[in-house]
Amino acid sequence: KKIKIKVPATVANLVCGFDILGMAVHEPYDEMEISISENPEIIIRHTDHYGLPEEASKNVAGVVLLKIQEELDLKHGFEVIIHKNIKPGSGLGSSAASAAGAAFGANILLGDRLSKEEIVHFAMFGEELASGVRHADNIAPCIYGGIALVKSSDPIDIIPLQSPDLFVAAVHPQVEVKTSDARQILKKSILLKDAVKQWGNIAGLVAGIEKNDHALIGRSLNDVIIEPVRSILIPKFDEIKTKSLQLGALGGGISGSGPSVFMLAEQEETAQHIAKMMKEVYDKIEIDSFVYVSKIN
Ligand code: HSE
């Protein structure tokens, strides 16, 4: 038996919700073909040339399947073919897509015996391999769809939220920002006054999402803790943000740990204008970039 699944890109953090909020988008997405093999081996193949490791223990999909095999005491293996469209290192949840896709796909092949929380549990081993941290803010929306709140990752407690009717413009500039480095530079402690501002924003954002209140979403997309530190890693971040707001974006910021930057807009046309502007900003300083206009998935 062989299945083929589409696995969406995800925007983690949603600006103020560091490690606890994430959103799946329609574009880009990976495709994965997964089958059960008679022998116990886990075989991973990529059809692209990103140079990702294929040895199961070094591959994010591979470690997830090894863990499933071990914990469920399976005698058979899996074969996975990954068509990767979400660029590794983009900050658009490329590793999460492979990890979540592997766990989700294996579950279907095993007769749908795992709960969504268990699928998240297994997929987090892939994120751990990729970034050293078992965060679930890309994995959860990838598996649940739309926007997900990771109330807790240990124990796993995921709250799926509404999907507001919004468009997403995103740019992936070709600069390298490793998640591990982007986490390393963060302050280990924060001021209470900043925490108060941040949880006001997170609560406002979640309320805005649930009520489909676009203005509330817009004024809650502020981050006083992570963005001021990380944005220095992303060339032209301030210019892109300022110009996006001028073009009518509700708000936005760094996608996950970067380098991609995303903006939310009410109209597709506005998102298209923002995407065009994003590309022009990077063209001007001769940094290649990819832009995406999408909907919340
Ligand atoms: N929440 C994580 C971070 C996402 O910001 O480090 C990484 O993709």
128-164: pLDDT as tens digits: 999 888 899 999 999 999 999 999 999 999 999 999 9
Rounded to whole angstroms, the Cα distance separating 202 from 223 reads 9
Q: Which atom of ligand 1 is nearest to the CA of 93?
A: 8
Binding-site residue ranges: 87-97
Ligand 1 center to residue 275 CA distance, Å? 23
Q: Is 227 in the pocket of ligand 1 (CB under 6 A)?
A: no
pLDDT at position 250 is: 98
Rounded to whole angstroms, the Cα distance separating 162 from 184 reads 32
Q: Which pairs with CB-CB distance under 8 Å and at least 24 residues apart come from 147-150?
A: 147/14, 147/21, 147/22, 147/23, 147/24, 147/209, 147/296, 148/21, 148/22, 148/23, 149/17, 149/20, 149/21, 149/206, 150/19, 150/20, 150/21, 150/22
pLDDT at position 277 is: 98
Predicted structure pTM score:
0.96
Ligand 1 center to residue 255 CA distance, Å? 8
Q: Is 225 in the pocket of ligand 1 (CB under 6 A)?
A: no
Ligand 1 center to residue 231 CA distance, Å? 13
Kindly state the DSSP code that residue 72 receives in the 8-state scheme: T
pLDDT at position 297 is: 81
Binding-site residue ranges for ATP: 87-97
237-252: pLDDT as tens digits: 999 999 999 999 999 9
